Chains A and B, each alone.
Chain A
Amino acid sequence: MNEQLKTPELAAVEVDVEGGDLSRGDVILKGALAAGAIYGSAMVSPFVRKALAMSESGDVGILNFALTLEYLESTFYAEAKKRAKPSGELKALVELIASDEQQHVEALEATIKKLGGKPVAEPKFNFEYNDTAGFLELAQTFEDTGVSAYNGAGPMIKSKEVLAAAGGIVQVEARHAAAIRLQNSEQPAPAAFDSPLDEKQVLKAVEPFIV
């Protein structure tokens, strides 16, 4: 089955919530990871748009989804500082990204509260990699997925201020993505557009994951 997955490493990410109470953000994240695993991170965008459109929670709901994603990235990079054994340029990059993601977490938590909402609980994550190369592969996928997820959510945001702020975050995620790809000796900007053209395939494949 794994050979049929475009980005199998996304399928391996475990997202666990204590008490078993999945938030909308958790559900959308799990679905986004599934969409990404099957079709590649570029296809996350339509899944996110559809999943968010299916519910009425508005900007707070969208921000909580973003927060769930940032929890994932923040945990991943914090662990990676030691676990990925980065050295030289990569070490500095990991530290920079870890700091950015932590700031994103703090900002999103604070904004959600300011809007009168409740930030989702931070899930527990399990990331599978054994070495720096494995870390880099996962990092690249997460950053690309994050860009696609934010781009998918963007058009759903109602408040101009929240949209402007989300835009400021997604651009930084795209910068991270390019830098990680360079470390991986991959094309930093593989496509002219960070968003796919065909939604139908993806939505069909991830329908079972939408609760």
Chain B
Amino acid sequence: MAELEQLEDPVSRRRFLAVGGSTTAVAAFLAACGDDSGTTTTTDTMKSGGGAGETAKFGKGDIGILNYALTLEYLETAFYADVVKSGLFKGADLETIRKFGQEEAEHVQALTAAVKQLGGKPAPEPKAEFPLENAKSVLELAGTVENLGAAAYLGQAANIQSPEVLASALAIHSVEGRHAAVLNTLLGESITPDGAFAKPADVKTVLESVEPFLVE
């Protein structure tokens, strides 16, 4: 996809994807599944989504995955709360941010309950500080966080053992996708930066991205 990367302007990228980039995207999708050899191979999608052991530091199996998600949701909730308090936004934009923050808080509640239901100990709320210089930089940060959050859920979907936990994770994952699309729209960027098929992110990438905001 080298030609695609040369197109810096988001509108040009979008047009390229609409006209000529489709065969590459479809080929990537095919490479990601439909392996008929009967063995589990490490495809590109699985590699970038990470293996099953990545969330072990957060707990065993599904508890670990839920606690990883919970940690991210705590960060998103705290971020949106800070942004609302900052007074940088008014009117419709403020309402959007407020609502997204409420939804992240509901995610925190649901994930906490899910971990307890599985007999696990919910991850603690991390201490975080976010740079809130001006409306534009805050929107950019929000966009980064939401797109990353969606990719994080996508990266773990295949690692989840329980169908019930998976159903919950999918129900949250798509909402993060909605949030990401809205932030991208507010930033004048493509609603689908990865094209027709969203890409997963692994735990390492996600945690490295949020590391700068954690306070000890």
List residues of chain A with CB under 8 Å of any chain B CB: 92-93, 95-96, 98-100, 102-104, 106-107, 110-111, 114-116, 147, 150-151, 154-156, 159-165, 167-179, 182, 187-189, 191-195
Contacts and interface: CB of A to CB of B under 8 A. Distances in A.
**Interface range on chain B (Cβ under 8 Å from partner):** 35 or more
Q: B interface, by DSSP: helix, strand, loop or mixed?
A: helix
A159 to B, nearest CB: 7
Contacts of A110: 26, 29-30, 34
Given A154-B167, A161-B43, 16 more contacts: A110-B26, A164-B49, A165-B45, A168-B194, A168-B199, A170-B170, A170-B174, A171-B174, A172-B196, A175-B191, A176-B181, A176-B191, A178-B182, A192-B110, A193-B171, A195-B171
A74 to B, nearest CB: 11
Interface of B: 11, 14, 17-19, 22, 25-26, 29-30, 32-36, 40, 43, 45-46, 49, 96, 99-100, 102-103, 106-107, 110, 150, 154, 157-158, 163-164, 166-168, 170-175, 177-182, 185, 190-192, 194-200
8 contacts: A96-B17, A103-B25, A115-B34, A155-B170, A165-B33, A174-B174, A178-B177, A178-B178
Contacts of A115: 34, 36
A4 B134 CA distance: 48
Given A110-B34, A165-B33, A179 B171 contact: no
A151 B157 CA distance: 11
Given A161-B43, A189-B100, A151 B174 contact: yes
A164 B45 CA distance: 7
Given A172-B177, A178-B178, A107 B18 contact: no
Minimum-distance CB pairs A-B, first 4: A114-B34, A174-B177, A195-B171, A161-B33
Contacts of A164: 32-33, 45-46, 49, 154, 157-158, 200
B20 to A, nearest CB: 10
A156 B170 CA distance: 12
Contacts of A159: 33
A96 B192 contact: yes
A165 B26 CA distance: 11
A181 B44 CA distance: 33
A189 B46 contact: no
Contacts of B30: 107, 110-111, 114
A194 B176 CA distance: 10
Contact of B106 (A163, A168, A192): A192
Contact of B34 (A155, A161, A188): A161
